[in-house]
Amino acid sequence: MIGCSHQTAAVDFREQLSFTGDQAREAISAFREQFPECELVLLSTCNRVELYTAAGESAPGHDLDGGPDRSEVLEFLAQQRQISVDRLMATMMYRSGTEAVSHLFAVAASLDSMVVGETQILSQVKEAYDLACTSGSAGPLTHAAFQAASRVAKRVQRETTIHRKRVSVPSVAVGEVASEFFETLAGKTVVLMGAGDMGRETMRYLLDAGADDIRILNRSLARAKSLAGEFGGRVMPWDDLDLALVDADVVVGTTSSPDPIITLDRFKAIAPKRYDRVLLILDLAVPRDVDPAVGKLDDVYLYSVDDLQAACERNRQERQRQWPKAKKIIDEETLRFVSELHHRSTGPVIQRLREHAEDIRMEEWVRLNNKLSQMNVSDEARREIEKSLDRVVNKLLHPPLASLREAAMDGHQSSLLAAIKRLFSLGD
């Protein structure tokens, strides 16, 4: 893996390096043309750009088995994004073998994200892998690694609470506060004031909570229609806000107004028409959209940004407490993945080597046993001699097999495999 993230590179550098969907397809095509024997998955998000390369057979002069070395990947990337190689060399991080696998698993499980526990990164990793599959740049190693990454991320989600604690104000407002008042937002009238970025983010959580009657009001009617066109919902003119408040079960404020929109006098004027129905107000705006005095009225429950941010911080701390448990899962799964990969790549050679050694041992034991019989050596003594012969063979086999296992764990076993096959005449 060669790449950078929010942890290693400033946003302006990441912007220069990032790929759109079409650019990623073109880059993969160019990479395949330049390195036809190498697999590639290109992951590009707002917080990271990472190239995962892999190959199965060794080639002279390459530190990746059969693929380009670090400098060749950097040169390719420099050409693609029109950035100097020196600048890339100074900023990009490099991981290989077990470290690259562990990094991928941590990324997919969102342990390496700017907001630990966010769920969007897993879908982005899947999209990058899907693009590699459709572009023909994925292969046996990347198939195995990225499929395992998805499984590992789901295990982290299942066995820790790192993804369950919401840390954004809109997610806490809808997912935790609103859910305490209403089992579902289905059948409830939700009034959304504001159609900017905060309103857009809130819409996603409202829909996830089952909201099916969302009324969008914004001073710019065009922006309200744009938001409704993207997510659904009913657009109402800004001047109809009082009418919307009469029907509302939930009101969400996300405007950029410098002054409160719902004042105490304004709400008192429409309160009789609500017939003492409970109203939940989630004021996500800064400055506030709702006069705090409104929250003191009967049947009105008002939560401001300060109230919600306190919950966000508690959840953020809880996520951090879950991090060691999630990291332990990553370590376990990395070891498991590399061991399985090692078994697939070295298993047949190890088996042939053991069979080869066993054939030699049996041949020598038969010859020796015949002589021992002629010498009237006792059965007990012969059993001890046979055990000694077994131990000698196992001790002779241990160093090459241990070296092969260690090399496989580091992802560089190919040259050692070839040497063992040649030294012991094991064939292909």
The 8-class DSSP code of residue 289 comes to S
The token duo for 234 is 């009913």
Task: Judge whether residue 412 has pLDDT over 60.
Answer: no
pLDDT digits (tens, 9 = 90+) for 17-30: 999 889 999 999 99
Domains in the chain, CATH or no CATH each = 2-159 (3.30.460.30), 169-306 (3.40.50.720), 380-428 (no CATH)
Q: So what's the pLDDT on residue 62? A: 38
The arithmetic mean of pLDDT across residues 213-220, rounded, is 97
Q: So what's the pLDDT on residue 61? A: 36
pTM of the predicted model, to two decimals?
A: 0.62
Mean residue pLDDT of the chain comes to 88
Q: So what's the pLDDT on residue 26? A: 96
- Of 62-76, 99-113, 154-168, where does mean pLDDT reach its minimum? 62-76
Helix (H, G, I), strand (E, B) or coil at 385: helix
Q: So what's the pLDDT on residue 171? A: 84
Percent of the chain scoring above 70 in pLDDT: 92
pLDDT digits (tens, 9 = 90+) for 53-82: 998 644 333 344 456 889 999 999 999 999
Catalytic residue among 38, 46, 133, 312: 46
pLDDT digits (tens, 9 = 90+) for 351-392: 777 888 888 888 888 888 888 888 888 888 888 888 888 888
Catalytic residue at 46? yes
Task: Judge whether residue 135 has pLDDT over 70.
Answer: yes
Task: Judge whether residue 405 has pLDDT over 70.
Answer: no
Q: So what's the pLDDT on residue 193? A: 98
Report the C-alpha gap between 213 and 13 in whole angstroms: 43
* Burial of 178 per CB tally in 10 Å (0-12, 13-18, 19+): buried
Report the C-alpha gap between 320 and 310 in whole angstroms: 16
Task: Judge whether residue 212 has pLDDT over 90.
Answer: yes
DSSP string, 219-278: SSHHHHHHHHHHH--EE--GGGHHHHHHH-SEEEE----SS-SB-HHHHHHHGGGGTT--
Q: So what's the pLDDT on residue 369? A: 84
